[in-house]
Amino acid sequence: MATALTTTPRLLENYIGGRWTPAASRERIDVENPATGEVLARVPLSGADELDAAVKAAREALPAWRAVSVLERARRLFALREALSQRHEELARSVTAEMGKTLVDARAEVARAIEMVECACAVPTTMQGRILEDVSRNVDCETVRQPVGVCAAIVPFNFPAMVPMWFLPFAIACGNTFVLKPSEQVPITQQIVFEVLDGLGLPPGVVNLLNGGRRLGEAMLDHSGIDAISFVGSASVARLVYERAARTGKRVQALGGAKNHIVVMPDAAIDEAVAGIIGSAFGAAGQRCMAGSVVVTVAGAHERLMAKLITAAEQLRIGDGMQESTDVGPLVSEAAGERICSWIERAAAGGARVVLDGREGVAARGASFVGPTILDGVTPEMEVAQEEIFGPVLGVIAVATLDDAIAVVNASRFGNGTSIFTESGAAVRRYRHDVQAGMIGVNIGVAAPVACFPFSGWKDSFFGDLHAHGGDAIDFFTRKKTVTSRYFSGADGSGPYFVER
Ligand code: NAD
């Protein structure tokens, strides 16, 4: 499907120590627009030398950046917020071009990225410590927060603008310096973000961008000059990141994959439930860590839901995300499309009923265009009910009671997000209390990240303890130091309090 190239695609560069720097590595891969096959850029796969240079720059920048007043650091984030807002549409178009999601979705992603920066601007308040007088006679105790050091993030392909902003603004707000490795599949949007950062006049080395793939990621895990790693990606890599980075004593938060259930109760507002499920399962072609991928219908909900759900899914328009009329864009690559098709085949062979078959989109438009697919008659034992598919494929499991539904959800090895559709407060209370997942939606299809709250899953969806953004970001990107103090002069309240010089 590749279109003829009229110009040589540009070779992306790294940003190290305040300068755009060509990668030394000769290894590079094409970044393709998944809707058109056009090669948008070539991305170098940087190696150990580039990593050393970025970490050295970040470490050298650390003392001076930490000494910049916290109010001034916040001012730089206000400027970042303004500059990103001015390039909102350009960033959204870049996300659509390299990742495939629709422009509406990409604009919303960039808005969420900007909200992260807004939230980090509160650092003069959020980074405050605590003090307690008189923990003993004439003795006071205080806790202050200090930066952790050189922090780094390794991020996935599905949110090229937002996920890096879960970490970067909070890290530098707290006085750390930063090294970012975007996904090699979608490295272009962060080139724009780093152009913006370059224009802010931050001291060289405060933020650094390294392009590369798995080899660079592994080198980051092992590098003794990095103090903290934030990772977002698939569950198997998240587990590996958590174990491997800990070997060099790093602080780690590793957000992994998901299998999110949407429970529909018999009393649900059914049209609203359908709209919520459609957006959750098929938005971004199912390539969201919060995508609903299994609907669990309770008792009569199945009959009320299914016809409406299938009709609504059939009406979604598949196409290039750049067209405003498109509802579902392509998968990130043809390889991803082929993987999804093989999942549908295996599910059907395993006994699921394909009541809506998205493989027709592939026949019409090409391998990356798998359309919305609905599998009814799924059982919890099926592989398709257990593993992350990361495409527009929705399984439906029918159960008799809310207890059964909770048992299905809690049997999953994942625990990222889950939603319940019901008008019953009692059912919601029970669900919220007993379900094992980090993010819960009540009559909300996607319990999307809210910048001022922590975001992450449980079980195999997350390795670590401090979640992304919100108050947890300040805890992750600072070290606490507790000081206990007393002074002997004037201990009995009679002075003297100073000595004349
Ligand atoms: P991935 O795990 O393949 O890659 C993620 C990043 O890790 C990339 O930058 C990649 O280059 C790097 N990487 C790959 N192997 C590595 C290794 N051995 N060591 C170090 N780094 C390595 O994930 P992906 O396909 O880019 O993204 C999709 C996955 O991300 C899905 O599983 C999705 O659920 C998950 N995700 C989770 C969240 C969340 O909040 N939990 C958010 C977005 C995406």
Q: Tell me the CA–centroid distance for residue 256 and ligand 1, in Å.
A: 7
Q: Which atom of ligand 1 is nearest to the CA of 213?
A: 11
Q: Which residue's C-alpha comes closest to atom 15 of ligand 1?
A: 214
Q: Which atom of ligand 1 is nearest to the CA of 388?
A: 32
Average pLDDT value for the chain: 96
Residues with a CB atom less than 6 Å from ligand 1: 154-159, 163, 181, 183-184, 213-214, 217-218, 221, 232-234, 237, 240-241, 255-258, 289, 388, 390, 416, 457, 461
With residue 209 as reference, give the H or E element that holds it.
strand 207-209
pLDDT tens for 192-248 read 999 999 999 999 999 999 999 999 999 999 999 999 999 999 999 999 999 999 999
Give the pairing type, strands 458-459 and 414-415. Answer: antiparallel
Q: Are residues 114 and 223 in contact, defined by beta-carbon separation less than 8 angstroms?
A: no
Report, as residue numbers or ranges, the catalytic residues.
289
Q: For residue 130, what pLDDT band results from cuts at 50, 70 and 90?
A: very high
Average pLDDT score over residue span 406-432: 98
Name the residue with the closest Cα to ligand 1, atom 20.
217
Q: Which atom of ligand 1 is nearest to the CA of 462?
A: 41
pLDDT in tens, 51-97: 999 999 999 999 999 999 999 999 999 999 999 999 999 999 999 99
Cα(63)–Cα(65) distance, integer angstroms: 6
278 CA to middle of ligand 1, Å? 24
**Residue from 157, 221, 241 whose mutation best tests the ligand 1 pocket (most atoms within 8 A of CB):** 157
Instruction: Please state the separation of Cα 117 from the chain's center in Å.
Output: 15
Ligand 1 centre to CA of 103 (Å) is 23
Centre of ligand 1 to C-alpha 402, Å, is: 33
pLDDT in tens, 316-363: 999 999 999 999 999 999 999 999 999 999 999 999 999 999 998 788
pLDDT at 2: 39
pLDDT at 6: 56
Q: Are strands 19-21 and 14-16 parallel, antiparallel or unpaired?
A: antiparallel
CB 143 within 8 A of CB 169: no
- How far is ligand 1, taken at its centre, from the CA of residue 128, in Å? 33
Please report which confidence band the pLDDT of residue 3 belongs to, taking 50, 70 and 90 as the band edges.
Answer: very low
Give residue 352 CA to ligand 1 midpoint distance, Å.
28
pLDDT at 123 over 60: yes
Q: Cα separations (Å) of 488 from 131, 139, 492, 501?
A: 19, 10, 9, 19
Q: Which of 158, 209, 343, 418 has most ligand 1 atoms within 8 Å of its beta carbon, as the pocket-test mutant?
A: 158
How many helices and strands, by DSSP H and E, does the chain display?
Answer: 18, 23
Side chain identity at 146, as an amino acid letter? Q
Domains observed in the chain: 14-256+461-483 (3.40.605.10), 260-442 (3.40.309.10)
Atom number, ligand 1, closest to the C-alpha of residue 235: 32
Residues 44, 12: Cα–Cα separation, whole Å: 7
With 70 as the cut, is the pLDDT of residue 5 above it?
Answer: no
Could you identify the atom of ligand 1 that is nearest to the CA of residue 238?
2
Residue 9's pLDDT is 92
Query: For residue 286, what is the DSSP state?
Result: G
Q: pLDDT tens-digit profile of 156-189?
A: 999 999 999 999 999 999 999 999 999 999 999 9
Q: Tell me how far CA of residue 494 lies from CA of 10, 207, 293, 390, 488, in angstroms.
A: 74, 52, 71, 71, 11
